[in-house]
Structure 1
Amino acid sequence: MIETVAGPVEHTQLGRTLAHEQLLTVSEPLLTQFPHLYDREAMYTAAVETVRGVQAHGVRTIVDPCVAMLGRDVAFHARVAEETGVNLVVATGLYTYNVLPPYFQWRDADALADALVHDIEQGIQGTSIKAAFIKCATDEPGLTPDVEKVLRASARAHLRTGRPIMAHSHAATRTGLEQARIFHEEGVDLRAVQIAHTGDSDDLDYIERLLDLGVWIGMDRFGVEGLLPLERRAATVAKLCARGHAGRMMLSQDYSAFNDWVPADKLAEFAPAWSMTLLFETVLPRLAELGVGHDQIDVMLERNPAAWLSGS
């Protein structure tokens, strides 16, 4: 069974799944300390409208890796799920590229793992909603001491609970390989790991080195032109499908229905066509033109997310 904000469902019932999207990306300290800066009803309306947009394309499940420090609010997610009927799959984790909050700077990886396990076994934020996967990150600053602590804590929480891992990566510096090394050192079967944002690169040598390790890869930022143009992203997916790798890829956009990290005018420059429906309106037709079959699309959008989440 896969945990959703509305309760567990069979992995066979997930259907068409977006494996990396967010309802919220919020500056968490500001949301809690300066709530007057935010119109929560407008945020809710944006989330519902965004979800309904992808439901019109047959999406039944959204995997949302919003965790601590990104504005996670599972009560918000539960409200959206109740309104729309979508399966919302949420995570535990602590998102940092560099340093941890002081509380965890003074504690070891096992203490952080305990907090992650609580979200999985007891529930998130005092609710009965349980995390279905574990999120961690390594970005351009690399493997700082605190980032390494988060990776090792994530691995240990996985070993204690069986929940899969999603690792935000920085493809330009090949951090996915470093993440895989840490997880392997901790005893993780890499078939339980998804290296997110692998699709920010079209370096097939790097990507196939990851695939050779057994991980899943997220081709999950279609529309973020400032990191890699859509055409190169699509061409990379098509080449990997032609090489027999459709069974290890997941497609998504890493879009947020509400995002306060980047001003709207800057976002329009960096990702002018970015949306949660871009995959269906533009990317899938382009993949078909590049020779990707409907059966391969179904594998990447349905079978693979369910298999990663369930460990099947």
Structure 2
Amino acid sequence: MTFINSVTGPVHTSELGLTLIHEHMRVRSESVHAQFPHLYDEEQEVAKAVEQVNRAKALGVKTICDPTVMEQGRDIRFIEKIARETDTQIIAATGIYTYNYIPTHFQTRSIDYMADLFVRDIEVGIQNTSIKAGFLKCATDAPGVTADVEKVMRAVARAHKKTGVPIMTHSHPASGTGLKQLDILLEEGANPNQILIGHTGDTDNLEYISNILKQGAFIGMDRYGLTRECSTVNRNNTVIELAKQEYSNRMFLSQDYCCTMDWFPEGVIEERFPKWSMSFVLEEVVPELKRKGVTEQQIQHMLFDNARCWFEGK
């Protein structure tokens, strides 16, 4: 057992309880907000986040991991506000979210320079606060492992080695980036038991998924409600099959829900993904998995035990 940092203070891993491993209190374009702040309504954003978190909390959720980092509009005071208003344990991340390029500031500096900034977020605090990050985040999407993306991944791995906090990735299964992420992270000496390859559930390619699992990493079946890459039925079938193969101790169920998100015009997300919410997994997915033979113990693994093991490196 060990302590990890939530945005409201240290939390013992034995106290995590039901954990949603990948949900966002808010995602927004940093540069747009900085230049055109009149486009945003902070009060409304708080209300939406509080409503979603309280819905999840009413279903038993005790802890939420929020992987919002640089280039996704991370505002640690906003996340803290939601945690306090809902009395929920929210664990924040450090890292950089990019599919292609990083700011010139980082292009002209070393990997270790970037890693040291991530370490500062973990050991000192985020954005000149005493609120500390509890895990690391990096991303690789359809463009693949660009030079800048690789720099972030190596910095994340080095910060992980210095601090012992786990790593979560954004991956793009259609182009096989989860395996490429593992190659780089493991080359840097990261502990596979503390690597979570996010969005693995966006594919039902069991061979690809098995190649990740065989290396000891966790996988995120973490985009329930988003049906563009994979339908809910296919997502469920993959989880059911992997549970039969005794991999429930390596899977997470979550939604990658964004309480507010400025990437699309208002109303577009609700129209395209009407079931997407922070409570979809608990309200609809878990009951269906149980009906299809997934056991209570396997659900316990995916929603309770695996988070503790990921943070502890088991």
With the length of structure 1 as denominator, give the TM-score of the two structures: 0.98
How far apart are the structure 2 equivalents of 1:162 and 1:261?
Answer: 33
Match of 1:194 among 193, 196, 204: 196
Aligned counterpart, 1:304: 306
How far apart are the structure 2 equivalents of 1:218 and 1:61?
Answer: 16
Matched, 1:51 2:62: no
Question: Secondary structure in 1 aligned to 2:5?
Answer: strand
Match of 2:115 among 110, 113, 120: 113
Per-residue CA shift, 1:248-275, capped at 9, x if unaligned? Answer: 0011000011111122443234322111
Per-residue CA shift, 1:191-246, capped at 9, x if unaligned? Answer: 11000000001000000100000000000000101111000001100000001000
Per-residue CA shift, 1:138-165, capped at 9, x if unaligned? Answer: 0000010000000101011111111110
Between 269-278 and 61-70, the greater mean CA deviation after superposition: 269-278
How far apart are the structure 2 equivalents of 1:87 and 1:11?
Answer: 11
Q: Do 1:110 and 1:153's aligned partners in 2 also have CA atoms closer than 8 Å?
A: yes
Question: Secondary structure in 2 aligned to 1:61?
Answer: strand
Aligned counterpart, 2:179: 177
Structure 1 outlier segments of 4+, above 6 Å: none
Question: Secondary structure in 1 aligned to 2:259?
Answer: strand
Pairs aligned (count): 312
Q: Do 2:191 and 2:313's aligned partners in 1 also have CA atoms closer than 8 Å?
A: no
CA RMSD, Structure 1 to Structure 2 (Å): 0.9
Q: Do 1:6 and 1:87's aligned partners in 2 also have CA atoms closer than 8 Å?
A: yes
CA drift at 1:13: 0.4
Q: Do 1:135 and 1:167's aligned partners in 2 also have CA atoms closer than 8 Å?
A: yes
Question: Secondary structure in 2 aligned to 1:25?
Answer: coil
1:2-151 to structure 2, matched below 5 A, reads 2-151=4-153
Question: Secondary structure in 2 aligned to 1:259?
Answer: coil
Question: Secondary structure in 2 aligned to 1:3?
Answer: strand
Aligned counterpart, 1:250: 252
Question: Secondary structure in 1 aligned to 2:284?
Answer: helix
Q: Do 1:2 and 1:310's aligned partners in 2 also have CA atoms closer than 8 Å?
A: no
Question: Secondary structure in 1 aligned to 2:25?
Answer: strand
Q: Do 1:196 and 1:220's aligned partners in 2 also have CA atoms closer than 8 Å?
A: yes
How far apart are the structure 1 equivalents of 2:42 and 2:271?
Answer: 26
CA drift at 1:38: 0.3
1:210-225 to structure 2, matched below 5 A, reads 210-225=212-227
* Amino acid in the other structure paired with 2:101: V
Q: Do 1:16 and 1:60's aligned partners in 2 also have CA atoms closer than 8 Å?
A: yes
* Percent of matched pairs sharing the same residue: 49
Structure 2 unaligned regions, length at least 5? none
Aligned counterpart, 1:206: 208
How far apart are the structure 1 equivalents of 2:264 and 2:35?
Answer: 19
Structure 1 unaligned regions, length at least 5? none
CA drift at 1:83: 1.0
Per-residue CA shift, 1:67-97, capped at 9, x if unaligned? Answer: 0110111111111111111000000001100
* Amino acid in the other structure paired with 2:244: A
1:273-284 to structure 2, matched below 5 A, reads 273-284=275-286
How far apart are the structure 2 equivalents of 1:193 and 1:83?
Answer: 31
How far apart are the structure 2 equivalents of 1:190 and 1:295?
Answer: 23
How far apart are the structure 2 equivalents of 1:31 and 1:4?
Answer: 26
How far apart are the structure 1 equivalents of 2:208 and 2:291?
Answer: 25
Per-residue CA shift, 1:24-82, capped at 9, x if unaligned? Answer: 11111112221111000000011111100100100000000000110111111111111
